[in-house]
Chains A and B, each alone.
Chain A
Amino acid sequence: MSHASASLRPAPAVPRNLEQFPELHPPLDPQSAIAEANRCLFCFDAPCTGACPTHIDVPRFIKKIASGNLRGSASTILDANILGLSCSRVCPVDVLCEGACVLHRYNKKPIEIGRLQRYAMDAFYAASGGVAAPFPVPPVADRTQKAACIGGGPASLACAAELRRHGYPVAVFDNRAFPGGLNTYGVAEYKLRPSDSLREVEMVRSLGVEFRQADVGVSVSLEAIEEEFALVFLGMGLGAMERLDIPGEDLRGVIDALHFIERYKTAADFAVGKRVVVIGAGNTAIDAANAARRLGAEEVHIFYRRTEREMPAFGFEFAHAKLEGVRFHWLAQPVEIFGRDGRVTGVKFQETSLSGTHAGGRRKVLPVPGVFFECACDMLIPALGQSRLTGLLEHKQGLEVSGGVIVVERATGQTGNPRYFAGGDCVNGGREVVDAVADGKRAAAGMIARLGARHG
């Protein structure tokens, strides 16, 4: 395999300059934006729109860029997706809108929808200073029932904005220092910066959404929330990362991927190791590995217990990591972490093999008996996926949790309990920002229908 031989060469140095995280998809300048916008065919009933989970009217906003109506372009986007800014930067467009572009079947290069969307969003935030509401918001009528959104991530923000646009008062409860969920704390720096995530939060606030900092279930009980609010939207995302459960996990220098990302994004003095090992090959593992490279790690090694074929990361994320100089090692799982003076110094791996194809299932990982090897490192980043976070809901009547995620009716986000709706990672088990936004929007529609019905 080509990447295997590439991994033997020393990784190229990452310049430690002012901008360690130049953007993955830099903005378009006005001239290229217009040229790109004009390339769009303006399809009728456009398939790109259908492939966007939030159904942004893609040709409409693109043609508004071409006509020089940037304000209208931004409203078109925000009307469908209130987090149009972050989505334009973090969406895996290859498998969404751009993947569906008809030009794949024509001259092959799809329209750069993501970058055009970013162009319109940047213009919107530059013009409004980031806080002007993109559309008129009706005042709250006194007797109107209130809604609460638990968690301040994309799902809740979308739900809250949609409810507010329809005249409902809504409060968002988030337990972090800043709202925004993984948009603020999780997504890779070269895609979305915390400041941009927070600009979006401010825009949602400007619609009249109230933000309260509280850990629901700890500092505020669900019962207290039920007393104040007629309906509740659950958008808590997922929990902490899963542990490796092997000896040595508490040594200094062992830090799970989410914490690692959160720290480097928010702590100015955060120092990365020289030789970093990442365990796992999902998108989060790749984000952490790329970040480690850019922060100055000389070597970054990803170990995965299956092979490239089973790797859960998107193909373009994998390709990107190889460009960053991250080296991949397949068919190995960690069994022990070594340390000296309380600090990690290396990991012991056991080689694995895969069982024959399972009917309908993934191939099973089989440790190869007696075959071990060691890898020295001064930082170890497990990236095994996030745990499911539903303890809060254990005693909620009717609320069904299956496989760690909340069960809802897809079209309305309605859970088994009539006062509870849910969406985002806590429902889909951890997918994309845009899926969380779409869930929040659908749930808001479901909640509005419900509140409307109550008012008779």
Chain B
Amino acid sequence: MANLTTNFAGIRCPNPFWLASGPPTNCGEQVMRAFDAGWGGAVWKTIGDPIVNVSSRYSSVDWAGQRMMGLNNIELISDRPIEVNLREIADVKKRYPKHAVIASLMVESKREAWHDIVKRSEDAGADGLELNFGCPHGMSERGMGSAVGQVPEYACLITEWAKEVARAPVLVKLTPNITDIRAVARAAKRGGADALSAINTINSITGIDLDTFTPRPDVGGLSSHGGYCGPAVKPIALHLVERVASDPEVGLPISGIGGIGGWREAAEFMLLGCGTVQVCTAVMHYGYRIVEDMIDGLSNWMDEKGFATIGDFRGRALAKITEWKHLDLNYKIVARIHADKCIGCELCYIACWDGAHQCIHLDAAHYAHIKPADLEAASRARIAVTPIAKLGTPHAAPSTTPPERIPHVDEEECVGCNLCWLVCPAPGAITMEQVPVGKQSESWHQRTESHA
């Protein structure tokens, strides 16, 4: 059985699954229930001088009938007094000494303000401090959040202020709303940060009401850009984590955030070097209970792979990311369609014709290389002879795909782009297979070097 106990930059916890700073960590009662459900740590909803929120606050992107593929919010930091938050932190720590409680902090860009909040948080018993340099909305207009995180010098300076008094590890939470995330990661490192959290939310407008023309969320007929998160942002988060993790100038532990909803995403962030992961949207969607399968699924996967601890696989994928110029130009794959698994939807055919390289054909029915429009016209013309359905036939559809609906690939023309394989709904109907080209592997870099 895999061992998930974690020591992240000196912060110990039963497992690497933390709640990210947000509504699920608003108060002590919630955090205690989360720990009961199995979460290993919690980053408290950002503490600072209490703010006033608006309603509404969230909007989302639904996709293909699924809710909340992406979530957007215009909520600010905690609306509760600092003392109340700190008292509850103390209470939680008393009852859950083995779990990690990290105080997320955001105050005015003044040295005394930061000194004060850091000391009080540590007095309350916080195991770590996360400096929120990331929120892209609202607070940034007041010179906080991403207004700090977008300027490396500010980020460095405030990290220094925090470190001047902090005894617990200091994490700096990075904003993705910046051209090169490494600039701020390096600045945090210079300021003395012990670890990084990445990413905070991405500037967004999720959608516009087509009746009122007001973008969502609607606050009395007006809206404001918000911060985007949820499953949709995972690819962006993975990329930014990779940028930071592979930067030799940074070299700090990373707590991965962005679109994590299950153990698979967690494993992906860890393979790119993260020591813990944080979750917000998925918990807002389904509740604390999702952690059960995150723990169970990750342990089972680790057992299957023979990993005893997270350290055994952390960062393993980093070496597999390189610059494009080092990729092998002589590696060739082609698509192969397996008639026994094909259900005859012809999506690969239209995808390759309209979106790739016109090398999937439906010429089993003896018309050679028929183009999509001609195929449609031929079908339309068949209305004159559409047979009357037979009485008593249970299904008009044969249980095997009619041969004329099974496409095939012209392997000479196929460039191996993967598109057909990506669109095919039938498992195993298309495989991408390597074909020998009879040449040594050669990258663009090697080719241009040797010609130089």
Contact = CB atoms under 8 A, between A and B. Distances in A.
Interface in A407-433: 410-411, 428, 431-432
A384 to B, nearest CB: 16
Given A34-B65, A104-B395, A435-B388, A45 B379 contact: yes
Size class of the contact patch on chain B: 35 or more
Interface stretch (A35-43, A143-151, A389-397): A35-43
Main DSSP-derived SS at the B contact region: loop
Contacts of A96: 389, 396
A410 B385 contact: yes
Contacts of B372: 44-45
Contacts of B65: 34-35, 37-39, 66
Interface string B388-402: 111111111101110
Contacts of A42: 347
A47 B391 contact: no
A442 B390 contact: no
Contacts of B349: 44
A280 to B, nearest CB: 14
Size class of the contact patch on chain A: 35 or more
Contact of A94 (B346, B384, B395, B405): B395
B350 to A, nearest CB: 4
Contacts of B293: none
Contacts of B347: 41-44
A170 interface: no
Contact of A106 (B343, B386, B388, B394): B343
Given A53-B386, A431-B388, A104 B346 contact: no
A38 B64 contact: yes
Contacts of A106: 343, 425-426
Given A55-B383, A103-B343, A105-B401, A45 B375 contact: yes
Contacts of B393: 95, 99
A100 B345 contact: no
A314 interface: yes
Interface string A75-103: 00000000000000000101110011111
Contact of B345 (A54, A102, A411): A102
A34 B372 CA distance: 28
Nearest to A441: B383
Contact of A442 (B64, B384, B395): B384
Interface string B47-68: 0000000000000000011000
A381 interface: no
B396 A45 contact: no
A299 B189 CA distance: 85
Contacts of B344: 43, 47, 102, 105
A95 B396 CA distance: 5
A102 B395 CA distance: 11
Contacts of A95: 389-391, 393-396
Contacts of B379: 45, 49-50, 55
B395 A99 contact: yes
A314 B394 CA distance: 8
A315 interface: yes
17 contacts: A34-B65, A38-B65, A45-B346, A45-B372, A47-B405, A49-B379, A54-B383, A66-B64, A95-B389, A95-B394, A99-B389, A99-B396, A100-B396, A105-B400, A106-B425, A106-B426, A411-B385
Top 9 A-B residue pairs of the complex, sorted by shortest distance between their CB atoms: A99-B396, A411-B384, A38-B65, A44-B346, A44-B350, A95-B389, A43-B345, A105-B343, A99-B395
Given A51-B386, A53-B389, A105-B426, 12 more contacts: A34-B65, A43-B346, A44-B349, A45-B376, A47-B344, A55-B380, A94-B394, A102-B401, A104-B399, A106-B426, A411-B384, A431-B388
Interface of B: 64-65, 343-347, 349-350, 372, 375-376, 379-380, 382-386, 388-397, 399-401, 405, 425-426
Interface of A: 34-35, 37-39, 41-47, 49-55, 66, 92, 94-96, 99-106, 110, 312, 314-315, 410-411, 428, 431-432, 435, 438, 442
